[in-house]
Amino acid sequence: MKSCRPIIVAFIALVAIAASATELTVFAAASLSDSLRVIAPVYAKATGDTVRFNFGASGTLARQIKEGAPADLFVSADELRVDQLEKAGLLLPGTRQTILANQLVLIVAAENAAPVSSLADLAKVGVKRIAIGEPATVPVGTYTKAHLEKLGLWTQVAGKCVPLENVRAVLAAVESGNADAGFVYRTDALISQKVRVAVMVPLAEGPKITYPVAVVRSTRAPEAAKTFAGFLAGPEAQKIFAKFGFLPPN
Amino acid sequence: MTSADLTGVDGPGQTPPIRIRFRLDRGGFVLDLDLALAGRGVTALFGPSGAGKTTCLRAIAGLERVPGGFLEVNREVWQDDSRGIFRPTHRRALGYVFQEASLFPHLSVRKNLEYGRRRRAVAPPVDFDHLIDLVAVGPLLERRPETLSGGERQRVAIARALLAGPRLLLLDEPLASLDRARKDEILPFLERLHRELEIPVVYVSHAVDEVVRLADHLVLLAEGRVAASGPLTETLARLDLPEEFADEAGLVIEGTVGASDPTYGLVRLDFPGGSVQVVHSAEATGRRLRFQVKARDVSVALEKPRDTSILNLVPARVVAVAEAKGGAHVLVRLDAGGTPLVARITRLSRDRLKLAPGSEVWAQIKAVAVLA
Amino acid sequence: MGEVLQITFFTLGVALLGTLLILPPGIALGWWLARRDWPGKAVVETFVALPLVIPPVATGLILLKLFGRRGPFGYFLERTLGVEIVFTWKAVVLATAVMSFPLLVRTARVAFEEINPRFEEAACTLGAAPWDVFWTITLPLGTRGLLAGCVLAFARALGEFGATVMIAGMIPGQTITLALGIYQEVQLGRDTEALKLLAISVVLAFAAVWLSERLLRGRTK
């Protein structure tokens, strides 16, 4: 039994470390999935806290939090959802801060793309299906509809729009060719080789896309959550975000 | 058996209308059949359960695909596996009556009867109304099969098969699922049918009484093989009948009513070679009746017995003597002026009477069963 | 209310169309499985049973890969017939058809197995060719069981979700069925609307299953 001893010691040490470390559950917008997955191990190495994620459309996540899902932190792709939760008293006051910004783009397939060079082309016959986020629950969809309405194009293209559950689903639809074009964030377009950006909605004209983060009131680890939120706003995380194409919160 | 067993064929050199050959070896179950049937008359396939009778019938119908089979009916080759010919069941002009009447439950009796009629171009051998009368199903026409009794259902099934214009009628133990009373109800119909039909019938049964009443030709099947076959009378009179049929050994003779004696309740039946008096209600003179004389009911005397209660004494000559199974008895084949008879006596008696082929004797017939 | 009605009628229409589409192949396959034996029969049985056993979304994913614009069937359909399946009402019909198919085949098979083969043999001996036997004997005798199977398949089609959401998406006015509608209303936090659709779903499903049971029970009289 001599060889067992080091194993037992190591096991006890691990348990001890685990007991003292915190595990955070973060509900985050789907558009953040790649970047946050890179940030989490960096954070773990620095603080010893592990972060678990639940990615989805911010509207869906907000609903889940409303129904009591065990989230410590919420990172949304629009201010609206956080406003709703704040009004419902589900967030820890004073913990809300905006950490990122993004840009709306129109993408098409990288090969055999539909002939789209401007948003007005979407109304043409050659474009049969446009993938968007579900406007009622997915921020990118809300932004898309708002912008198209602003341009007076919404009524013409609404019938061609396929509302999907989150921004990544929109990306997948365009990648697979099942939709001729789709509205995603610039950061999403950047991670995929199978799509290319056809139109970039200029920041000045387009919707203001910002990512607020807030601590959920029912959290069991408010300090750890605040620390992680601070980390996300800090230089190390921001550098990683920038690499993925995110914009600083202007 | 490799050569065809001719049953009821008139004269040598004439191709029998129906030739059947099946050879099947299916994991323990063997069927080895080589038959030739005449163009009319009832051929009974008789044997114990498991002998392969039903399989044989189904093979003739094409419901079972038996490899290595050959079937020719009236010069039409219905199946010849050596040449890759196989006419599917629905194109074989036959009629099939199953053991349990398979009347279509969702159709009325009338629609059932008309089912085959609508599909075969061949004109039926019997007219619709006549057939309805024959099997007496007139009042049942608009009823549903589930409201009929077992006997009624079988009658309808037989009529349905006939109305399809078959060239060959196959009956698979049609009375097996009926009780005694129903059976007795239907047998007369079958006998009438037998007399009126001009197409050959293959009748499968394991009931002796049905066979002796209806069959013209007999094929005895045991363990998938033909144990004996030939005209009914002769086959039953054979001395070397296999064990299963030993009890039935005897004769079926057709006689003509000579006279009736109502006072004593007797009827005299004449046949070539003699006559017998049987207990029977009065019949019209000249009427043909079948009767069965079992070997065990026949005894032999060297001189005409006097003052005996046995009514029927027939002079005969011994043709052959053979040991019966069991060892204590022998079967004596007799010739009574052209009509064969079989007697079963003890070996002791044979030795004492010194019976041998050629001996002139008197046959004493103790019991006669009139069939129909 | 208008939207609720539209969704209800759309659901009924799609379920009906889906059920009608699978009727001929379902009954045919049910008959083959009931009456015939062949090498590889077990493989066919397994394949047919798959949509019943694997998660509906998995079936939906398979359909997406096959009928998507770049999938083998989708590409062919778009090129030669100009027909698009994914993200249209046709995808809803496809999903419901595929998910209901195993149920129909199963009940059809049982219905046929319960018919005594002797009736079919008798019809053969009376001169009926195989097709004739099927139409005049097998089908009439199996009608009750087949009808029960149809109703069951229809009920299943009414409630189909996982595969549908995968290949048809939730496009308002175009691909929203009762099931998808309920999900969407809950997503949007509109519980009352969701409950309305839920109530209709329950009533329809109840009626369908009740009818199916009646038909089945009447059979074994």
Bridge partner residues of B268 (DSSP): B259, B277
Whether C187 and A63 lie within 8 Å, measured CB to CB:
yes
- Domain-embedded: residue A114: yes
Residue-level length of chain C: 221
Of the candidates B102, B90, B106, which has an alpha carbon nearest to the alpha carbon of residue C142? B106
Q: Note the ipTM here.
A: 0.77
How many A-C residue pairs are in contact by the CB < 8 A criterion?
A: 38
Helix intervals (H) in B298-367: 347-353
Interface mutation vs chain A, best among C88, C171, C180, most A CBs within 10 Å: C171
Q: Residue C105 contacts by C-beta under 8 Å, 6 or more apart in sequence?
A: C26, C29, C30, C33, C48
Chain C residue closest in CA terms to A58 = C187
Range of the domain at A175: 104-200
Beta strands in B38-136 (DSSP E): 41-46, 70-73, 76-80, 85-86, 94-97
- Domain-embedded: residue A126: yes
Residues of A in contact with C171 (CB under 8 A): 161-163
Report all structural domains of chain B as residue ranges with CATH numbers, in order of start: 3-236 (3.40.50.300), 250-370 (2.40.50.100)
pLDDT tens per residue, range B308-355: 888 888 899 998 888 876 778 888 888 888 888 888 888 899 889 888
pLDDT tens per residue, range B99-128: 886 899 999 999 998 898 777 766 655 677
The residue behind tokens 């009591």 is: A68
Whether A179 contacts chain C with CB within 8 A: yes
Task: Give me the amino acid identity at A24.
Answer: L
The whole-number mean pLDDT for each consecutive block of 10 residues of chain A, a chain of 250 residues, reads 73 67 90 93 91 92 90 93 93 92 93 86 89 92 94 92 92 92 94 92 89 93 92 93 90
Give Cα separations from B99 to B54, B102, B173, B353 (angstroms): 10, 8, 5, 49
Q: If you average pLDDT over residues C125-139, what whole number do you get?
A: 92
Six token digits for residue B275:
């006559």
| Chain C nearest CA to A68, separation (Å) | 14
Q: Residue C95 contacts by C-beta under 8 Å, 6 or more apart in sequence?
A: C59, C60, C63, C160, C163, C164, C166, C167, C168
Claim to verify: residue A137 and residue A194 sit in the same structural domain: yes
At residue A95, the 3 state secondary structure works out as coil
Between CA C167 and CA C213 the distance in angstroms is 32
pLDDT tens per residue, range C67-92: 988 889 998 998 898 888 999 999 99
Q: What is the pTM of this model?
A: 0.75
* pLDDT-based confidence at residue C33 (cuts at 50, 70, 90): very high
Select from B90, B92, B104 the Cβ nearest to the Cβ of C119.
Answer: B104
Q: CB–CB of B371/B213 below 8 Å?
A: yes
Greatest extent of chain B over all pairs of C-alpha atoms, in Å: 69
Q: How many domains does chain A have?
A: 2
Residues of C in contact with B120 (CB under 8 A): 126-127
Q: CB–CB of B141/B110 below 8 Å?
A: yes
Select from A63, A66, A177 the Cβ nearest to the Cβ of C68.
Answer: A177
The whole-number pLDDT of residue C43 equals: 95
- CATH number for the region C2-54+85-220 comes to 1.10.3720.10
Between CA C14 and CA C91 the distance in angstroms is 10
| Chains contacting chain C through 3 or more C-beta pairs under 8 A | A, B
The whole-number pLDDT of residue A115 equals: 85
Whether B78 contacts chain C with CB within 8 A: no
Claim to verify: residue A9 and residue A87 sit in the same structural domain: yes
Task: Give me the amino acid identity at B116.
Answer: G
Greatest extent of chain C over all pairs of C-alpha atoms, in Å: 66
Question: Do the two chains C and B touch, given a threshold of 8 Å on CB pairs and at least 3 pairs?
Answer: yes
* Cβ atoms < 10 Å from Cβ of A54: 16
Residues of A in contact with C169 (CB under 8 A): 162-164
Residues of A in contact with C68 (CB under 8 A): 176-178
Gap between the terminal Cα atoms of chain C: 43
Chain B residue closest in CA terms to C117 = B102
Select from B61, B100, B106 the Cβ nearest to the Cβ of C125.
Answer: B61
Residues of A in contact with C161 (CB under 8 A): none
Whether A88 contacts chain C with CB within 8 A: no
Whether C126 and B161 lie within 8 Å, measured CB to CB:
yes
Of the candidates B314, B322, B366, which has an alpha carbon nearest to the alpha carbon of residue B347? B322
CATH number at residue A96: 3.40.190.10
Q: CB–CB of A222/A92 below 8 Å?
A: yes
- Domain-embedded: residue A130: yes
Select from C119, C127, C136 the Cβ nearest to the Cβ of B102.
Answer: C119
Give Cα separations from B55 to A111, B24, B88, B167 (angstroms): 68, 10, 16, 20
Q: CB–CB of B101/B154 below 8 Å?
A: yes
By DSSP bridging, strand B339-346 and strand B329-336 are: antiparallel
| Chain C nearest CA to B196, separation (Å) | 21
The residue behind tokens 């019949």 is: B283
| Chain A nearest CA to C69, separation (Å) | 5
Whether A164 contacts chain C with CB within 8 A: yes
Lowest-pLDDT choice from B66-75, C23-32, C33-42:
B66-75
Q: Is the dihedral of CA C26, C30, C33, C35 positive or negative?
A: negative
| Chain A nearest CA to C85, separation (Å) | 9
Q: Is the dihedral of CA B237, B242, B245, B246 positive or negative?
A: positive
- Domain-embedded: residue A89: yes
Interface mutation vs chain B, best among C36, C114, C125, most B CBs within 10 Å: C125
Q: From the centroid of its chain, how far is CA C68?
A: 21
- Domain-embedded: residue A250: no
The whole-number pLDDT of residue A235 equals: 93
Claim to verify: residue A15 and residue A75 sit in the same structural domain: yes
Q: Where are the domains of chain C?
A: 2-54+85-220
Six token digits for residue C6:
């539209």
Whether B102 and C129 lie within 8 Å, measured CB to CB:
no
Claim to verify: residue A185 and residue A225 sit in the same structural domain: no
- Domain-embedded: residue A205: no
The whole-number pLDDT of residue C27 equals: 95
Residue-level length of chain B: 372
| Chains contacting chain B through 3 or more C-beta pairs under 8 A | C
Claim to verify: residue A195 and residue A231 sit in the same structural domain: no
> What angle separates helix A79-87 from helix A139-150, to the nearest 10 degrees?
120
- Identify the contact set of chain C against chain A, taking CB-CB distances under 8 A: 64, 68-70, 84, 86-87, 169-172, 184, 187-189
Residue-level length of chain A: 250
Q: From the centroid of its chain, how far is CA B271?
A: 20
pLDDT tens per residue, range B158-199: 889 888 888 888 999 888 877 777 777 777 778 777 777 778
Whether B160 contacts chain C with CB within 8 A: yes
By DSSP bridging, strand B288-294 and strand B274-279 are: unpaired
Which H/E stretch holds residue C181? Answer: helix C178-187
Claim to verify: residue A81 and residue A110 sit in the same structural domain: no
Select from C68, C172, C187 the Cβ nearest to the Cβ of A178.
Answer: C68
- Domain-embedded: residue A189: yes
Claim to verify: residue A109 and residue A44 sit in the same structural domain: no
Give Cα separations from A17 to A11, A12, A13, A72, A221 (angstroms): 10, 9, 6, 21, 16
Give Cα separations from C72 to A138, B99, C78, C163 (angstroms): 31, 55, 10, 18
Whether C69 and A176 lie within 8 Å, measured CB to CB:
yes
Whether A163 and C68 lie within 8 Å, measured CB to CB:
no
Which H/E stretch holds residue B21? Answer: strand B18-26
Q: If you average pLDDT over residues B228-255, what whole number do you get?
A: 72
At residue C75, the 3 state secondary structure works out as helix
Task: Give me the amino acid identity at A92.
Answer: L
Which H/E stretch holds residue A167? Answer: helix A167-176
The whole-number pLDDT of residue A19 equals: 60
At residue B259, the 3 state secondary structure works out as strand
At residue A1, the 3 state secondary structure works out as coil
Claim to verify: residue A194 and residue A126 sit in the same structural domain: yes
Of the candidates B3, B31, B8, B29, which has an alpha carbon nearest to the alpha carbon of residue B18? B8
Interface mutation vs chain B, best among C37, C126, C133, C143, most B CBs within 10 Å: C126
